[in-house]
Chains A and B, each alone.
Chain A
Amino acid sequence: MFHVKHEFDVIVVGAGHAGLEAAAAAVRLGRRVALVTLSRDDLGALSCNPAIGGVGKGHLVREIDALDGLMGRLGDAAAIQYRLLNASKGPAVQGPRTQTDRALYRQAVSGAVSAMSGLTLVEGEVSELVLSGNGVQGVRLADGTVLKARGVVVATGTFLGGVIHIGNDQRPAGRWGGAAADRLRHQFAELGLPKGRLKTGTPPRLDGRTIDWAALPRQEGDAKPVYLSFLTEITANRQIACGVTQTTEHTHDIIRENLGRSALYSGNIEGAGPRYCPSIEDKIVKFPDKSSHQVFLEPEGLDDTTVYPNGVSTSLPDEVQLAYLRSMPGLSSVEMVRPGYAVEYSFVDPRSLRRTLEVAGFDGLFFAGQINGTTGYEEAAAQGLVAGLNAALRAQGRPLFEFGRDQAYIGVMIDDLVSRGATEPYRMFTSRAEYRLSLRADNADMRLTPLGLDLGCVTEARRLSFERKHDEMARGREALRTTRLPAAETENGETPTRPWTTAYEALGQGDGVARVAEHGARPEISQAAWEALCAEACYAPFAERQKKEAEKLAVGRQVSLPPAESLIEIPGLSIELRHKILAVRPATLVDAERIEGMTPAALALLLIQARQKSAA
């Protein structure tokens, strides 16, 4: 039975962090959006650790926020602890992080969803994509309903071929309580989308009432919170502390004795797990000399007694989990609410995607989130934003949009994914960003909100607040640049080149902030604008250099190269270089330049080949 029931501009499949952000972005562009999900309860579920942000991840959240996305505001609405990570280091590597209340988060999400006009929430299972030629037309649900749209975003997370492992037990499912929906997987295979297998794990959950909190040291949040969203001005909830315990020799003995019963060590799992999120089994096997590992006890909510023990994800059988938990200080009579487990799932090789997250060769079909081989709420949400914007642009017949590596962490992540693929679940690190000193959490708004305004995905309230801050910063910068302070003494007694510095330059030096204040040169602007200027001044010399580099790259990126097969015909290229060209398949001059062993002369020849081909 084939009957068209509904027409939309954009359909988003999956209402995890990726799907939610995708739907919200398309709605902001004024599109009619259908958000299809297996269960309403999945909306904005924090499947694992209810924490948002961090170093790298916090950068992503700020970027999403700068484009008027949801995650930062939702996180602030549910935050029960704030900590600015790397607070003792420079602003470029500081990352805001929150501990959130799971229930409050869910509440904030449903509030946001019901506030979106133009959004239709559909509870159901998408069983098939409706394709015609190399374009997408919509989706078909398991009950036969067909939804039509010109843009479809697939954000189904770990639900493809998901298998849960607890000890020797295995059962299909993406997440605790979710039903595996792997019919789509077969269709992706038919479409020729290559896939791979990954795994991840989660720790058991504890009953907080059975923890001896008094016996444990606590970790408090920051006294002066740094919010996730540029728009947040007040702390929404009562703030809590986390407990800290650690594994003991006894814990390690228990785990060692039972290693053979762990799904990870019994050979049941083939997928690659993230190296930065090892199970407790892994930690003990790989670091036998370490006699103890730290474990944070993080309450999942203000009125929730569930506690998340951060640091002990596992796939051991239930009774072993309970035994090792009870071997830790403060947990001697702890009860487990739910056991930990490992999940194995399929992902689509992101190298089949373009930087717009559209599948190469299928107009209007986008992939976002964990299905692309990433891990993390923030990574998923950031991709969702890009896919949702582009699906909306596609539906509108407007040119699609992509972020450069020099513009945003989002651009770094997507470029990494589409050019290198994922061999382990991909997580954001600041070290992945070569323009790290310019791509800061503090300036995400200055970098991206103007882009959002151009695209039309930024709403009025944010525009006003952005423009106010922008103007204040401009005013402050001007004032600082025209104020002279006596030059600072140099450490090694060299004479400074001139006897004065501008207040702006001074701001970028060690004790600059204090010196500027001392000379009464702090301009009268808001604290937010002032802090942003301080960070900016700190990196100004580098920003200049990075900008030039980026410009050079931009020119090279515009030169596209013919296919690798015709590039290697060029006489004079060494065999080695030919192999590398075939392996890397450079699409642009910049890709080619990055090939190890590439020389200017060889590059010039590639260029000539490119021009010849395009002339022919």
Chain B
Amino acid sequence: MDTIFAEATPPGKGGVSIVRLSGPQARAIAARLAGDLPASHQAGTRRLRDGDDAIDEALVLAFDAGRSFTGDETVEFHLHGAPVVVSRLSAALRKHGARQAAAGEFTQRAFLAGRLDLTQVQGLSDLLAAETEAQRRLAVQNASGLLGKRATEWREALSEAGALLLADIDFPDEDLENGLIDAALERIVAVRESIEATLAGSAAAEIVRKGFQVAIVGPPNAGKSTLLNRLAGRDVAIVSERPGTTRDVIEVRLDLNGAAVSLFDTAGLRDSDDVVEGEGIARARRTAEAADLRIHLSETGEAQAGLLCPGDLVVTSKADLHPGDGLRVSAQTGAGLDALVSEIGERLAQRIAGAGVVAHEMQRDRLARAARHLREAERSGAEFLAEALWQAIHELEALVGRVDIEDYLDLVFSRFCIGK
């Protein structure tokens, strides 16, 4: 069983973040960061360090196996809230062999250990809904993004390598061309290098760096640009009483109660014959679809039906002109803005707990493990190479889809004339 960790508190909220670490290596890993650990069910302050780097001064709680939430050894770190502290700790935990938990994994372990009753786990359903939604969005992002393209290439190269190894191992009596293993190795090294490059620089890191994306959508003149300016605290977008003012997508980066957010102002949605406006509207839709959260803003309190996802915010604008109940804001008077900001924070926190960035981080973990499997096997024989390939593909499954022996066989039989 792996040792897993996850942030137990919604990120960026309040003064304290709790990171939970659980599994057979939990105490050992924690001890490497904290020096020694308090006795089971005791708390103590420890200075957490990762080698020479200080992470934080934290409150540490340890639980012995059999006496914890999951039934396994568990250690909780209560950190000073800043997201950067959490990510520093995550990096250190990962380095020592723990991995980011998948959504629901703690609960699953707890349930399997008989530590939860049914009512306590019903919440999983909601989590699952959020998770599927987040995964769907992630899939859309990945498929259109750089990572998606690379994943397709990786899949192809790894399947080919697998097919070459299969041909070499399982058909030794056939009169096949020489150098199958070298050809497989060439593909494996290329994939491994590409994964490492991806990890080191661009794609994955960029996704994580991008933060949460929140798009304001609505009909023209709803007050979208005004709201963006108000939340940003400066005049970023042009405001006018003419409908159809905004054409391009405008992005501002904000710190909403500690969470990094990219806020997008978009063109008002309507049928338009104007080519430029039409393009603006198309961009607005794309931005809205790719965003993690949408604020549907209108004077009537209606949502854009085609873009509405579960968990979106539907907000009435110009509350000074349209008084009433529900989520209403006036960009002019500032009424309702605090409530809106805290709603956004709330949603984001749910998403983080659900998947969102977690999924990204998990992917990073998996990519790293896949690369390691491949690297370790590069200098050994065919059967080890095939084994490593198997493991790597398993890690990449979420990204590249499942590769099955039948896929290998298809490739082998289309490429080689095999059989007696």
Contact = CB atoms under 8 A, between A and B. Distances in A.
Interface of A: 49, 54-56, 85-86, 89-90, 92-93, 97, 274-278, 283, 286-287, 290, 293-294, 296, 310-311, 313, 429-432, 434, 436-437, 491, 542, 552, 570-574, 577, 596, 599-605, 607-608, 611-612
Interface size class, chain B: 35 or more
Contact of A283 (B125, B126, B127, B419): B419
B173 to A, nearest CB: 6
A294 B1 CA distance: 49
B131 interface: yes
A607 B105 CA distance: 13
A574 B133 CA distance: 9
Interface stretch (B282-290, B343-351, B381-389): B381-389
Interface string B391-412: 0000001000110010011000
Contacts of A85: 172-173
Nearest to B414: A286
B418 A436 contact: no
B129 A572 contact: yes
Given A85-B173, A277-B419, A599-B103, A573 B387 contact: no
A572 B124 contact: yes
B1 A552 contact: yes
B170 A429 contact: yes
Return the 9 tightest CB-CB contacts between A and B, nearest first. A601-B104, A572-B128, A604-B108, A572-B125, A294-B175, A275-B413, A574-B132, A287-B417, A600-B105
A202 to B, nearest CB: 11
B121 interface: yes
Nearest to A603: B108
A54 B103 CA distance: 46
B249 interface: no
A601 B170 contact: no
B420 A601 contact: no
B142 to A, nearest CB: 14
Interface string B99-130: 00011110110011000001001001111110
A277 B405 contact: no
Nearest to A594: B402
Contact of B169 (A89, A97, A278, A611): A89
Given A296-B420, A572-B125, 17 more contacts: A86-B169, A90-B384, A277-B420, A429-B166, A429-B405, A430-B170, A431-B169, A437-B383, A571-B125, A572-B132, A573-B128, A574-B132, A596-B401, A601-B103, A601-B104, A604-B124, A611-B118
B77 interface: no
Given A54-B173, A429-B405, A608 B121 contact: yes
Nearest to B409: A275
Interface of B is mostly: helix
A55 B172 CA distance: 8
Contact of B104 (A49, A286, A574, A604): A604
Contacts of A436: 383, 386-387
Nearest to B359: A599
A406 B245 CA distance: 66
Interface string B148-183: 000000000000000001100111110100000000
Contacts of B381: 89-90
Nearest to B391: A545
A599 B102 contact: yes
Most buried by A among B103, B383, B409: B383
A437 B383 CA distance: 8
B129 to A, nearest CB: 5
B128 A430 contact: no
Contacts of B420: 49, 277, 296, 310-311, 313
B111 A604 contact: yes
Contacts of A491: 379
B69 interface: no
Contacts of A604: 104, 107-108, 111, 121, 124
A485 B39 CA distance: 41
20 contacts: A85-B172, A90-B381, A90-B382, A90-B384, A93-B382, A274-B419, A275-B409, A429-B166, A429-B170, A430-B170, A431-B386, A436-B387, A572-B126, A572-B128, A601-B103, A602-B104, A603-B108, A604-B111, A604-B121, A607-B112
B212 interface: no
Nearest to B174: A294
A175 to B, nearest CB: 18
A97 to B, nearest CB: 8
A56 B170 contact: yes
B390 interface: yes
Nearest to A427: B170
A171 B170 CA distance: 35
B408 A431 contact: yes
Nearest to B132: A574
Contacts of B112: 607
